[in-house]
Structure 1
């Protein structure tokens, strides 16, 4: 259908009164006195009947005048009008009026939600044409528009300085391809109104640029640069109020003047450690590179502003490069030449080559520098132990720690309590308390408390544990806010494959199973089964292993939990098996450290931006080596600087000194090499890149051991025996009856490194772990962790709001082919960010830019298996499956086990995904492109759930 067939929604079109009568069904919100800003800046009263009229005209444009006689259309118009008015009422702010296009955005969104895709698609193209016509006309008539007034905080009004607005937009667009200052200014002008508040002017600039991101990804940089102007005024007005006006005229921030004053101000406010004031502030301030402020995209900078920058009374007074230097100084505070090391650390962070985890960024240099990411605990089987664990959870969560709790020691339902001669209520009531504690202690108000409970598959309460996240049943036996994970021994998987039976026990009657793994576990488990058969075990139940496995898979599909993690690979390949047992993983399933009643495992995380370490010839190994060496030093420093809230965590961390270096931007690195994710080339790159990182991380830990000494429990470890992660694959294979698909091929000189490890020792018991990086990848503007691209065009929702995400690499390729236009944008929205159904896109690009649900999950597992052989801990591995079935899930998780993986993370299935199509023509950041929400089944995380980003 030609786009000009759609009539102007403001034009006169005769519609029978009988058709419109009652369409709104009665107003659902009081809009009396509320006004609408028209495109010429004038105001008119809100009238919901105009919405009904507009929707009706849209149907007539597509279906012809016979639509007015359709009862279906009549009912649809009435229902859609009600939905739109409800949506508008939620946004209504009586201090401001709604813009006419805000209302039209809701019309378009409602049409798409209701399935009227033809009408909505034509509407998208129509509005684009009309916008272009208005832009052209605006160039002619702009001189005749009366000057607008700006209302200052004092109440005084002054003329709007449009010359300054234009200059700031032009500076923000400078050096970026594909952006237009005129296009931004056109959007800015339509969002200005007479009497606009002073602080809203900068916001209008920023959000106007942001609204163009779907057309050109580089507008994400423009909007970030405009946001910098707002941040500068706010920060300088607090730290150096006398310098705001002269500094405001500069293109860049004068960090040399601002930084020492900022440090002194933060110390005076008791926010930063006084030790930072003893640095040579002039020396470190001279190293700050203001030009790197221009490297932020809007999502990253807004996230830093909302959640990371230091503030007082709601005023953010920390600017981006000061933030990175503050973190760097905090990490260098015990170095000998601490200024030199702070500058070295700053260079790594501000270049986005490496990023520390969220707790480190939150708290570094502060009075309570809790910098560690993950804490793993084992709960003892008595009330004192249980409630001490709950208290520990609260203290650890307070300063942004993510928690993994091992509950396998706690006796099950119906077991005997000797002290009262009664029966236990089992795990669930205590898990409910842990769940509620995570809600109550919400990580210092910065993000939700996050905890994951682990349980071994032989526990008598396992079936109730599987049901914890269900939305039905007794709510007193549900934990809706706590993650859960299965801790699965190899023996159970063998019984599943043999179609055998499986016996459930209460741990008070089989106390040693908790600490056994491999063949020792299998032998002891068989011993207890024999005892149970003789009636010598009080609390037990025998089930079919396959039936329990099916319930596990059913629950992970229906609720997303419990995750599937494997006990034996985590222990048999652990470098620290001489010093204890790995009883669980952490919140995000990448940490595999020993825990006990005496030791709370702690891990300190950070991630390499792999995309920044690529050249035309592939991996830049020299740059990667420099990054890894510095990053490992930063992570090792965390251990000594860290503020520990519980003594068991301090003792464990200082004794073993584990760190978890990971990666992000893996998908971006594949794009740079033109390698599709679903390919053997991608699997080879996963192998090559992780081998290089593993080699350099181990080597860097040896260097630190030579400088600072080996970690205390080194003797007896696999390291001390010359058994590196690649060698420990054999140890796992020796306990498996099947041949694992994990290979042991290598390309680097591992023999020489083994000699160095045994001679000099290691500074850190563990070196590598791949975390989700859900937030720090946003800061760096790259794809998270080892994930495939979620969608090529969608809206990411997190605690900072909703953000349009467009695959810039794809846009560049489509531009080169002359295919990037309004129709392509509309098609990407319609097809949920996928190229697969867009005929004019070449097959080569469809393969390269296949989204997560278009990539067969087996490719993710193959790549993960290649990485796992180099990693001494684990990786947060999300699995995606299109149109899931029991057979597919069974095959998928068995493949993960056969491959020798230690853990898996979320299962995401497209059948449970609901996609809202919309426009991006908003300025409040609440309605952009394609917004992804999730139904309870299968998909439980949309790449931005705060509980998923607790590690990073």
Structure 2
């Protein structure tokens, strides 16, 4: 009755991994045989001749085969247990309960028969007492978990000759299989991974095998040995050894090693911890302390500040961005997240930009390139008396540069090209991510974004014409915005009508807008970002122009050929600053004050790869303090994201963060001095971000701005402090995607709604089953969490909407991203935007998108005063791989709905709600 494999394959590419680790082709005939034997066992010999049974077996075999082949990925391989799981589920869902029961019992008997000799042989080589001790330590203090199922699954996977490393991995995998049934097993899995990491690190440092349980580790002694070896290997700055290590090691909190979920610790293990020849020797608290010490290098009382920074990081109250975590305290401390450049209209500038991109990306920087100044297709070239091929061929080279420099294998190299909507090449720019057409004019790996002036949106709403120009004939449009841009643009249109401009083309604004939205839906690019709000509300209008945003659309800083804008990011974990009663403002103020100091320190410690970046960063000192875990905070407060209360919470939480961040930067200015270009800024005029809304409203000259001006804090007093003390930083706030650092902290990324309540998350560390722990907590409280609920969640792709036994209030609270009207996301973003001096990475989710829906949504975002938007995520009826853990996979004939995938994945993929590039 068991399903083994060999014989006639249905699809040659699909292979089956047998229990002895050999591989053979998939054969559906074996499924038919197993099903027939199951019916024989229950219904007797006559069942074999029954046409009914023959028909049922054929139908069930087809269902099982269809489901299994759906799982097959790029290198399809199925384990024999997966196949048997599907057979069992097919019988249950077909209503053949007696047959299914017989099949289950037979499987269990066969498993026990196989297990005995395997365990007996393996036991001779395995210290089972230590396995039990490690697993007991892993489950200690965690609710709703136990050691027994982990040990049982580990025992099942023992085999003669298993190595210590393989045994450690077997324990991790054993606990991992239990996560979707009980999310707390994620912590158990992380602790088992931690045990493996401890053994790896201690063995490496000692030069001989060493094992230690969590309570057995001498962390201070380990830290000294770790630091000495890291310095010896030239991985860490020797200056760290000059700290008072007695104070430093006394402050380490070993118990915080136990706070990680599996996804967070695995991410750190794979990509962040220091290693030598692939061997990790940096434990989590050593990692956080190394980062904290690196950020405190220039402090007067650096031990005190390092401990203060360490407390913030290791508690997950705040997390620095990925480049800072990668490189702080190392010999090459490139700590900045984002770099913005402008490319001038000459070959020297264009090819220098490629070199700059490569140098900036080498140490984990995300790139935003403004290409608008480069002349368009057909423009005259005076030096050769020829005609330009336009900006597109140069963008192709920029794309290939991003692919070639992949940040040392730690992260994918990533860049975003920006072009203004009046550029003559804009229509070709829209096609860059298409999979058809001349591949020499495509950029499959680079992100693109439209830099849209208000004048264009006014023409769209008036159904008026729009004129495209080449920037060599209209050079000042690049630096103009607001009313000045609109007036000059109209002058150029009149000049074109008089025949004074050679290269131009007139189109219907609505038609171009529709094409922009069509390409956004079809390819995920170019994103829609708004030039005028970014400039009219910029505190640095006196010092230059914002020509683009960055890779993830949250940074809005000035650029020129002489200055490359740099931003230094970090994010407050909002979940750690709420209670069921609301926002913990006192704790938030403490966190923000320390975080701003840490980010300001980055600027002076930073390793700059090009002089233009150093010059800009030291002159303006911008930072970008953001937040993550917004959706988790709503869960804690019991608020649906699609509700006026959630929008109000977005407003008030951002108001407090903004107030404390501006206050902290002003206090730093009193302590350390103002940033160099402060005089003349909006700050110097007492105009704070909330006040700059009036500047945007004045430029819009009508009812095209629909924003909320409410406030609750004493902003007058803060304005006066800023006027007197100044500001340490030209820009203070930006909400980045936090794709990776939110994984580390175990919360939802940035300001994102819950994507699904149960799904498989893929990133550079692998595939991870993710279950919404807040939902599980509430379902447990109502007696609704069981395996049937897990199965239903998988069947309905993480949605509660169609699960009848779930109460309506929970359905509203845990509605997923595609179940809510995206205007709620825009409303919340608008309320945040009034407090932010930069922007926010805002993804928009649209179920069953249409041209009308997209048109209304993006014009709504413009009317609500947003500066930028990020990915458009839409749904289509295509299948996704579901987890295949026994008894919990989705229903066999489900056709799940998933985000529309770009045909060729970019550095930031539209089919994954995460961007790996910024954070």
TM-score higher than 0.5: yes
Displacement of 1:668 in angstroms is: 0.6
Work out the CA distance in 2 between the residues paired with 1:475 and 1:667: 41
Which 10-residue stretch deviates more, 903-912 or 772-781?
903-912
Match in the other structure for 1:24: 9
Match in the other structure for 2:891: none
Which of the numbers 155, 178, 189 marks the counterpart of 2:155? Answer: 189
CA contact (8 A) 1:604 1:660 kept: yes
Match in the other structure for 1:849: 814
Aligned length: 904
SS in 2 for 1:910: strand
Match in the other structure for 1:240: 206
Work out the CA distance in 2 between the residues paired with 1:625 and 1:303: 29
SS in 2 for 1:861: helix
CA contact (8 A) 1:355 1:776 kept: yes
Compute the RMSD of aligned alpha carbons: 3.4
SS in 2 for 1:564: strand
Asked if 1:68 is matched to 2:51, the reply is no
Displacement of 1:347 in angstroms is: 0.4
Work out the CA distance in 2 between the residues paired with 1:81 and 1:250: 42
SS in 1 for 2:738: coil
SS in 2 for 1:593: coil
Q: Deviations over 1:665-705 (max 9, x none)?
A: 00010011100000000000000000000000000001100
Which of the numbers 522, 529, 536 marks the counterpart of 1:558? Answer: 522
Quickly say closer, same or farther: Cα 1:738–1:230, change in 2 above 3 A. Answer: same
Task: Map 1:159-170; keep pairs closer than 5 Å.
Answer: 159-170=125-136
CA contact (8 A) 2:624 2:731 kept: yes
Task: Map 1:342-741; keep pairs closer than 5 Å.
Answer: 342-736=306-700, 737-741=702-706
Quickly say closer, same or farther: Cα 1:868–1:441, change in 2 above 3 A. Answer: same
SS in 2 for 1:753: helix
Displacement of 1:24 in angstroms is: 2.9
Displacement of 1:198 in angstroms is: 2.0
CA contact (8 A) 2:874 2:899 kept: no
Work out the CA distance in 2 between the residues paired with 1:738 and 1:933: 34
Work out the CA distance in 1 between the residues paired with 2:355 and 2:913: 22
Q: Deviations over 1:101-150 (max 9, x none)?
A: 24436x57xx9xxxxx9768569999998999799999999997675455
Work out the CA distance in 1 between the residues paired with 2:339 and 2:623: 12
Work out the CA distance in 2 between the residues paired with 1:388 and 1:509: 23
Displacement of 1:949 in angstroms is: 2.5
Match in the other structure for 1:199: 165
CA contact (8 A) 2:569 2:625 kept: yes
Quickly say closer, same or farther: Cα 1:696–1:84, change in 2 above 3 A. Answer: closer
CA contact (8 A) 2:3 2:84 kept: no
Work out the CA distance in 1 between the residues paired with 2:447 and 2:524: 9
Match in the other structure for 2:183: 217
Which 10-residue stretch deviates more, 776-785 or 61-70?
61-70
Work out the CA distance in 1 between the residues paired with 2:93 and 2:270: 35
Displacement of 1:951 in angstroms is: 1.4
CA contact (8 A) 2:63 2:90 kept: no
Which of the numbers 298, 302, 307 marks the counterpart of 1:338? Answer: 302
SS in 1 for 2:457: helix
Which of the numbers 782, 794, 798 marks the counterpart of 1:829? Answer: 794
CA contact (8 A) 1:794 1:931 kept: no
Displacement of 1:947 in angstroms is: 8.2
Work out the CA distance in 2 between the residues paired with 1:516 and 1:804: 49
Gaps of 5+ in 2: 889-893
Work out the CA distance in 2 between the residues paired with 1:564 and 1:303: 31
Match in the other structure for 1:292: 256
Q: Deviations over 1:209-241 (max 9, x none)?
A: 111000000000000000000000101111134
Match in the other structure for 1:951: 918
Match in the other structure for 2:144: 178
Asked if 1:759 is matched to 2:724, the reply is yes
Asked if 1:791 is matched to 2:791, the reply is no
Q: Deviations over 1:816-844 (max 9, x none)?
A: 11111111111100100000000110000
Displacement of 1:918 in angstroms is: 3.4
SS in 2 for 1:404: strand
Q: Deviations over 1:276-304 (max 9, x none)?
A: 11111222111111100110000000000
SS in 2 for 1:36: coil
Quickly say closer, same or farther: Cα 1:290–1:443, change in 2 above 3 A. Answer: same
Which 10-residue stretch deviates more, 617-626 or 909-918?
909-918
SS in 2 for 1:707: helix
Displacement of 1:68 in angstroms is: 3.3
CA contact (8 A) 1:25 1:78 kept: no
SS in 2 for 1:785: coil
Quickly say closer, same or farther: Cα 1:282–1:142, change in 2 above 3 A. Answer: farther
Match in the other structure for 1:36: 19
Work out the CA distance in 1 between the residues paired with 2:150 and 2:15: 34
Which of the numbers 717, 734, 738 marks the counterpart of 1:773? Answer: 738
Asked if 1:302 is matched to 2:302, the reply is no
Q: What TM-score comes out, normalization by structure 2 length?
A: 0.92
Displacement of 1:742 in angstroms is: 1.3
Asked if 1:226 is matched to 2:192, the reply is yes
Work out the CA distance in 1 between the residues paired with 2:855 and 2:341: 30
CA contact (8 A) 2:125 2:160 kept: no
Quickly say closer, same or farther: Cα 1:88–1:167, change in 2 above 3 A. Answer: farther
Work out the CA distance in 2 between the residues paired with 1:142 and 1:76: 29
Work out the CA distance in 2 between the residues paired with 1:118 and 1:536: 74
Displacement of 1:159 in angstroms is: 2.6
CA contact (8 A) 2:445 2:904 kept: no
Asked if 1:53 is matched to 2:36, the reply is no
Quickly say closer, same or farther: Cα 1:133–1:230, change in 2 above 3 A. Answer: farther
Work out the CA distance in 1 between the residues paired with 2:226 and 2:566: 32
Quickly say closer, same or farther: Cα 1:377–1:161, change in 2 above 3 A. Answer: same
SS in 1 for 2:389: coil
Work out the CA distance in 1 between the residues paired with 2:391 and 2:788: 55
Quickly say closer, same or farther: Cα 1:126–1:893, change in 2 above 3 A. Answer: farther
SS in 2 for 1:786: coil
Match in the other structure for 1:101: 81
Quickly say closer, same or farther: Cα 1:244–1:81, change in 2 above 3 A. Answer: same
Displacement of 1:915 in angstroms is: 2.6
Work out the CA distance in 1 between the residues paired with 2:881 and 2:224: 47
Q: Deviations over 1:423-450 (max 9, x none)?
A: 0000110000000000000012211100
Quickly say closer, same or farther: Cα 1:102–1:622, change in 2 above 3 A. Answer: same
